[in-house]
Amino acid sequence: MHRRSFLMAATSLAGAAMLPDLAAAEPAPPAAASAANPLLAPWRGPNGGVPPFDRVRIADIGPALDAALAESETQVDAIAANPAAPSFENTVAQLERSGHAEDRVGTIYGVWTSTLSNPEVQALETAEEPKLAQHYTRLLQNDALFHRLDTVYQARDAAGLTPEQKRLSWLYWNNRVRAGARLAADSKARIATINQELARNFTTFNQNLLADEAGYVLYLTTQDDLRGLPPDVLAGAASAAADRGHPGQHAVLNTRSSVDPFLTYSDRRDLRERVWRSFYARGDSNDVHDNKQVIRQILRLRAERAQILGYPTHAHWRLEVAMARTPEAAMGLMMRVWPSAIARVHEEVAEMQAIADREHAGLTIEPWDYRYYAEKVRLDRYALDLNEVKQYLQLEKVREGMFWAAGQLYGFTFAEVHDLPTARPDIRVFQVRQAENGPHVGYWYFDPYARVGKRSGAWMNQYRPQSTFDGPVTTIVSNNANFVPGAPNEPVLLAWDDAITMFHEFGHGLHALNSQVRYPSLAGTAVVRDYVEFPSQMNERWLPSPEVLSRFALHYRTGAPMPQELRDKITRARTFRQGFDVTELLASALVDMKIHLAGGADIDPAAFERAALAELRMPRELPMRHRLPQFGHIFASDNYSAGYYSYIWAEVLSTDAVEAFREAPGGLYDPGVAQRLRREIMRVGNSVEPAIAYRNFRGRDPDVAAYLRDKGFPTT
């Protein structure tokens, strides 16, 4: 997320026409400064410029960031000190014009800390994060600026502002109110200190987790170690071992993209247990990288901050501006789903146990058995072998399928460009246009492969937001994943869940690329946390469509399309293993909410996790998707804290929205519904309040029954 969006969200969350160079829309930095540090210079290149990834030296990032923060503060101080009466134009609009250098350098900083980390980058992060926290607090608590914003906000109707201007004025004003702008000086000072301490703890948490992911590798050295592993998993494991100086062996890395396939296919139960225990012990090994005390400090600081700000708990503070509004509403939704989810888990475990007993395995299903025996059940009940499905899911073809579906829904075309700088040679760039040879929409960067120093998982970044303020500026986005490269000249094959994840993260990218707002702070994905996942989860629904599978699910050897029989099996198995999938995610969301509702209590994270799961009657055969010591969503930043429920909340929206397509004559590709989706949801960013935007699209509020039907759960 670009730095302005981070600032604006910090307290509420989480064609070939050449466009003018960004330098035309902002004052150029002093020549000496930009010559000495190229990261401070406006971006150059086509379509408003692109990040100068080819000119980055780690040694330049810290000084550039410090200079950019100082420049932003000077600009904001000048706005605050303006002797003219406050107005939208001389206050809010000027804030939108500030911070360009900070946004640019922040993009580079974010790419290096999340995807190219090493000891030098980690030292940089340790030094800079407290400075960033201090900087954002200072901007949010600037008394003179808040007085001007308050004047503009209170006069918003009399001043004749447009709806978008009113929304932006409210956002600036409300973020500062929630950050403590109206507090006494001593309380403001304490909030500033808390934010800095939190930043240090977030960095420590993240670096501990990264160390545990990079520091443990299981090397498979005998043929017996490899039993059950399909060829593509073996190829990826061989490549991972060779990259780590163990040619001829196979490596299971301590990341989800490596662990999940091993747990699914390995016949070696003892090794499955070792891999499972290592993965779910990340951050919880009682060593130098243990995160439990870090969590304790984060929770204490969050609780104190909430109390100073006048909220009962951190959860109440966070949800005040979310769609849910209150923790009680979020908990109410989750607890409506929870009984059905765990009931389904018990059914799934019984089916797995029956197969294990039939095979005389002599075992009771444990967490490291779940994926393995679930596949046996899938074969037994549906004759669906996901390893067979994987042979039709080539990474490049899945990407092409994403592009095709986006073309059908939004009219976009994607063409690879080879002359723009990237942070690594294996990162690719695509130009996005509105129709073939139509106007330029933006750039999409694709960084799909795992490597040392890259955080695990998959995510979307926005390098630059769209806006039309002071001239058109197009967006630049990236999608990032951790797929293990295959053998040389062999395609990377994706598990079905990984292909779904690609469509999901691309949905975030499409949200940004569709944006058509005036002000950058309202653009694209700069929306509340329990709404931002809605477009991405909805985009997952286009992968299983016959139109995509028939065109792009091609066998990696023969090129033959996926047979209709196999596609039918996928459809019939749509609700299979939903007990596991919903329960592991929902357990994490419930524990996240419960721990942030605990207020100022001194919490032992390990004891709290055990007690909360026991109270929920969590099935012992599976863990939370993210145990607390590795729960980066909520402890590596504030972004999803007391907000992991957002995935469930947004899925209620997405399943209900997809039913609008299914009810239409054209199904998932109905042009009328697609146009309404684009007009009412995808284009408006945060310029319209999310509940209103959804109502404009659907004609009513969302119905949770659609979600329950989609999972195969009872609707009453």
- Mind telling me the catalytic residues? 505
Quick one: tokens of 603? 């919490």
Q: In the 3-class helix/strand/coil scheme, how is 628-666 assigned residue by residue?
A: HHHCHHHHCCCCCCCCCCHHHHHHHHHHHHHHHHHCCCC
The token pair at 194 is 């808390």
Tokens 């006494």, residue?
184
Q: Which residues contact 59 (CB under 8 A, 6 or more apart)?
A: none
* Contact in structure between 89 and 469 (CB atoms under 8 Å): no
DSSP assigned state of 502: H
Q: What are phi and psi of 82, to 5 degrees?
A: -60, 125
Q: What is the dihedral of CA 505, 511, 512, 515, to 10 degrees?
A: 170
Distance CA 128, CA 132 (A): 6
CB 283 within 8 A of CB 630: yes
Distances (CA, A) of 51 to 47, 248, 663: 12, 39, 43
Burial level of 111, CB count in 10 A (0-12/13-18/19+)? Answer: buried
- Going from the C-alpha of 629 to that of each of 288, 474, 637, the distances in angstroms are 13, 39, 13
What CA–CA distance (Å, rounded) separates 168 from 495? 42
DSSP 29: P
- Phi (first) and psi of residue 704, to 5 degrees: -65, -20
Contacts of 410 (CB under 8 A, 6+ apart): 510, 513, 514, 674, 678, 682
Q: Are 660 and 712 in contact (CB under 8 A)?
A: no
Contacts of 526 (CB under 8 A, 6+ apart): 1, 5, 8, 9, 465, 685, 686
Say how far apart CA 654 and CA 4 lie, in whole Å.
Answer: 27
Amino acid of residue 396: E
CA-CA distance, 323 to 689, in Å (whole number)? 9
Contact between 350 and 579 under an 8 Å Cβ cutoff? The reply is no
**Cα dihedral sign, 245-247-250-255:** positive
β-strands 475-483, 440-449: how paired? parallel
Write down the H helix ranges in 81-142.
93-97, 100-115, 119-140
Both tokens of 427, joined, read: 């990162």
Q: Return the structure tokens found at 53.
A: 């990834």
Q: What is the identity of the amino acid at 705? A: A
Q: How far is CA 430 from the centre of its chain?
A: 21
Query: How, if at all, do strands 459-464 and 217-220 pair?
Result: unpaired
> Are 63 and 85 a contacting pair, CB within 8 Å?
no
Beta-bridged to residue 429, according to DSSP, are 417, 445
